[in-house]
Amino acid sequence: MELTPDETTLFSVWGLDINATVGFTWIVMILLTITSILITRNLRPDVPPNRWRTTLEVIVTAIQSQIEEISPRASRHVLYFSGTLFLFIAFSNLLLIVPGFRPPTASLSTTAALALSVLIAVPLFGITRQGIGGYLKTYIQPSVVMLPFNVISEFSRGISLAIRLYGNVMSGAVIAGILLGIAPFFFPVVMDVLGLLTGLIQAYIFAILATVYISSATATATAEKPLPKEKEK
Q: Which residues bind another protein (CB under 8 A)?
A: 1, 3, 160, 163-164, 166-168, 170-171, 174, 198, 201-202, 204-205, 208
> Quick one: 5 or 129, whose CB is closer to another protein?
5
User: Which residues, 6 or more positions from 108, have their beta carbon under 8 angstroms from its beta carbon?
Assistant: 4, 162, 163, 166
Tell me how far, at minimum, the Cβ of 1 lies from another protein, in Å. Answer: 6
Tell me how far, at minimum, the Cβ of 63 lies from another protein, in Å. Answer: 14
> Quick one: 98 or 193, whose CB is closer to another protein?
193
- Picking from 199, 70, 221, the residue whose alpha carbon sits closest to that of residue 134 is 221
Tell me how far, at minimum, the Cβ of 171 lies from another protein, in Å. Answer: 5
Cis-peptide into 142, omega within 30 deg: yes
Tell me how far, at minimum, the Cβ of 31 lies from another protein, in Å. Answer: 25
How many alpha carbons lie under 13 Å from residue 157 in its C-beta half-sphere? Answer: 17
Instruction: Give me the helix-helix angle, 20-39 and 108-137, nearest 10°.
Output: 70
> Quick one: 1 or 37, whose CB is closer to another protein?
1
Give the chain's radius of gyration (CA, Å): 21
> Quick one: 24 or 166, whose CB is closer to another protein?
166
Residue-level length of the chain:
233
